[in-house]
Amino acid sequence: MQRLETDAAAVQILSMHKAKGLEFDVVFCPTLYDDTTLRAGPFDLTAVSARDGLTPVMDIGSPLHAVRAAEMLREEEAESLRLVYVALTRAVHRCYIAFGDIGRGDAASRSAMGYLLRPLDGGSIRESLTTMVEASHGCMTLEDLTGDAVSARVAIAKQPQPELAARQLVLMPSQLDTWRLSSFTGLVADAPDGTARDVADPTVLSDAPATLTGFRAFPAGTQAGIALHDIFERLDFAQAGEAPSRAMVQSSLAAHGLTGSNAIAEQRLDDVMAMVQRTCVATVPGGGFALRDVPRQETLREWRFDLSVSTTSVRRVADVLATHGSSHAKAYAPILRTLRESVMPGYLGGVIDLAFARDDKWWIVDWKSNQLGGADARYEASVLSDVMMEKHYTLQYHLYLLAMHRFLRTRLTDYDPATHWGGVAYAFLRGIGEDDAARGWFIDTPTPVLLDALDAAVGRRT
């Protein structure tokens, strides 16, 4: 069963404190009959918390102890009244209240609800309720719970219970095995992990930071990765160099604390804008198009998936890559086998940065902000291929391919991997330049046999 994204439509059990400021269609208040003040329970009032003017004091026996104890109880009663007000004003359409001589002695009449219902002329609460219902013109109703129903519940509670006998617990093989939610990060880190979004692009830096210029000098790390992902999620690729884009980029950098001091803020903004524009106008290697040619409304951005798997065996995935993968994937398979094997059903979660169809061919794009150095050679295809394997990004994009493969298979009536796949592109943002179209890009293209073999290798959770 896939987890709900939100439980907003489910029944919620909240304290009155938690319910402040919220509204619900229907509200049940089953315990407003109870007296919640300190005097209702066996509390020790030897130590009394009070105020002497504006100064808080703890009174444990001064001449003012009795006065302060009474004041503390009055404050408790006032707080109980405020909470009852909160409870009674949360409902949009209907509110159910249970009230009566329930619980300890006269707790109901001493409760905050009892205080509100008790008539000033000394009459009974029942008479007060009847008057209120009659004056509501049908907006309120009063229903008695009969004594028989109460007696029946008591009788059931008093039925003798059968004597319990302990027995030895004998587990069947794999009886305690269960499914889990993991992700690319969890597989690589060899730990259960529910974090689907991977933006912690590590630094692989051989140059001194002082030698870095332009966007390559932009801060590295998780926060920088989140900011850059946010920019590309909101960006209109066709208007990458225009004023609205600049304002958006500036707000994103400011929101993530990356504008820097006044002396470098404008230069840093210029560097990021230059990178954004280069990325959008660069021809995607093997695609024959630029991102600025892709309409915003035809893209999926930060596309979340939960991939049902019968096994998260990295060994099986490695076998598929070694047999059916590209030359890059075949070279990566032995590295993948170095990860600790884990075999457990469940879901693999992930977030694809960008997916779209161009000329009926689907592409996946992932933004990478890794700081690899200041030299252009550090962002050539051969070097990026090594980075992809070292950081296990190769495993990451094969999981992305499988998720999109299953998605397209259910959405396109004529889906054929041989004709509907363009490729996967990892954009190393610090390396993309105008003079070399291939620099900064890692490209791979899946084959139908690879996608089908991956699908069969991981299976589906049953």
CA dist list (Å): 312 to 57, 335, 409: 60, 16, 21
Mean pLDDT within 240-251: 87
Using the predicted structure, report yes or no on whether residue 119 has a pLDDT greater than 50: yes
Q: Is the pLDDT of residue 57 over 80?
A: yes
Token digits for 167?
Answer: 């027995």
Percent of the chain with pLDDT over 90: 39
Q: Which pLDDT score is estimated for 154?
A: 39
Helices 314-324 and 393-411 cross at an angle (nearest 10°) of 80
Which of 81-95, 191-205, 336-350, 419-433 bottoms out in mean pLDDT, i.e. has the lowest? 191-205
| pLDDT of 439 higher than 90 | yes
Banded model confidence at residue 391, pLDDT cuts 50, 70, 90:
very high
pLDDT higher than threshold 90 for residue 233:
yes
- Average pLDDT on 124-142 reads 84
For the ranges 209-218, 249-258, 313-322, 414-423, the lowest mean pLDDT is seen at 209-218
Percent with pLDDT over 70 in the chain: 81
Judged by average pLDDT, the poorest of 130-139, 230-239, 316-325 is 130-139
What's the pLDDT tens digit per position in 180-214? 666 777 677 654 444 455 655 665 655 556 578 89
Q: Which helix (H) or strand (E) is 181 found in, with range?
A: strand 180-183
Contact criterion met (CB below 8 Å) for 406 and 307: yes
The whole model's pTM is what?
A: 0.62
Q: Yes or no: say if 439 and 432 are a contact pair by the CB < 8 Å rule.
A: yes
pLDDT band at 2 (very low <50, low <70, confident <90, very high): very low
Most confident segment among 29-43, 137-151, 160-174, 411-425: 411-425
CATH number attached to the domain at 24-142: 3.40.50.300
* DSSP secondary structure, 204-244, as one string: ---S-GGG--GGGGS--SHHHHHHHHHHHHH--GGGTTSHH
β-pair type (24-29, 48-52):
unpaired
Architecture of domain 180-458: Alpha-Beta Complex (3.90)
pLDDT number for residue 115: 81
- Above 80 in pLDDT, residue 434? no
Which residue, 298, 285, 305, is CA-closest to 399?
305
- pLDDT, residue 288, reads 92
Rounded average pLDDT over 62-79? 84
The first and second tokens of residue 257, run together, are: 């604390």
Q: What is the DSSP string of 336-388?
A: HTTSPP----EEEEEEEEEEEEETTEEEEEEEE-----SSGGGGSHHHHHHHH
User: Tell me: the pLDDT tens digits for 72-108?
Assistant: 888 888 888 888 888 888 888 888 888 877 766 667 7
Total Cβ atoms within 10 A of residue 167: 6
pLDDT at 261: 73
| Cα–Cα dist 230/201, whole Å | 15
Would you list the DSSP string of 268-313?
A: HHHHHHHHHHHHHHSBPTTT--BGGGS-GGGEEEEEEEEEEES---
Q: What number is the average pLDDT over the span 177-182?
A: 64
- Between CA 305 and CA 407 the distance in angstroms is 9
Average pLDDT in the 241-248 region? 86
Across 126-145, average pLDDT = 83
| Domain residue limits, the chain | 24-142, 180-458
User: In terms of Cα–Cα distance, which of 356, 453, 367 is closest to 402?
Assistant: 453
Position 240 pLDDT exceeds 80: yes
Rounded Cα gap, residues 451 and 422, in angstroms? 13
pLDDT averaged over the chain? 82
pLDDT at 179: 62
Give the residue-averaged pLDDT of 150-154. Answer: 43
In whole angstroms, how far apart are CA 398 and each of 46, 332, 389? 68, 12, 12
Q: Which residues contact 322 (CB under 8 A, 6 or more apart)?
A: 329, 330, 333, 334
Answer for the pair 225, 370: CB distance below 8 angstroms, yes or no: no
